[in-house]
């Protein structure tokens, strides 16, 4: 999916999801991606969401 969005993955960071919610045994995955401007960022985020990932981002 990130290949179709033409995004270059720079780093992956896996950590246990720490929250009091119904998501037990979940994992959060930090993905650092090299992008080319705000439109490209939106394309990458949409690709993640379209494939069932909940994305939170920072610029």
What integer pLDDT is reported at residue 44 of this predicted model?
Answer: 87
- Statement: the pTM of the whole predicted model exceeds 0.85: no
pLDDT exceeds 70 at position 24: no
In a domain, 2, yes or no: no
Q: Rounded mean pLDDT of 47-59?
A: 80
CA distance 17 to 23: 8
Q: Rounded mean pLDDT of 49-53?
A: 86
In a domain, 57, yes or no: no
Q: What's the domain range around 31?
A: 8-50
What integer pLDDT is reported at residue 13 of this predicted model?
Answer: 82
Q: What angle do CA 54, 20, 56 make, to 5 degrees?
A: 20
Q: What percent of the chain is modeled with pLDDT above 90?
A: 2
In a domain, 36, yes or no: yes
Q: Rounded mean pLDDT of 6-13?
A: 85
Q: How many domains would you assign to the chain?
A: 1
In a domain, 45, yes or no: yes
């Amino acid at each position: 999916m990130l290949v179709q969005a033409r995004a270059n993955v720079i780093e992956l960071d896996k950590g246990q999801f720490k929250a009091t919610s119904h998501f037990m045994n979940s994992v959060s995955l930090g993905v650092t991606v090299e992008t080319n401007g705000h439109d490209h960022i939106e394309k990458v985020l949409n690709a993640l969401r379209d494939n069932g990932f909940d994305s939170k981002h920072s610029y």
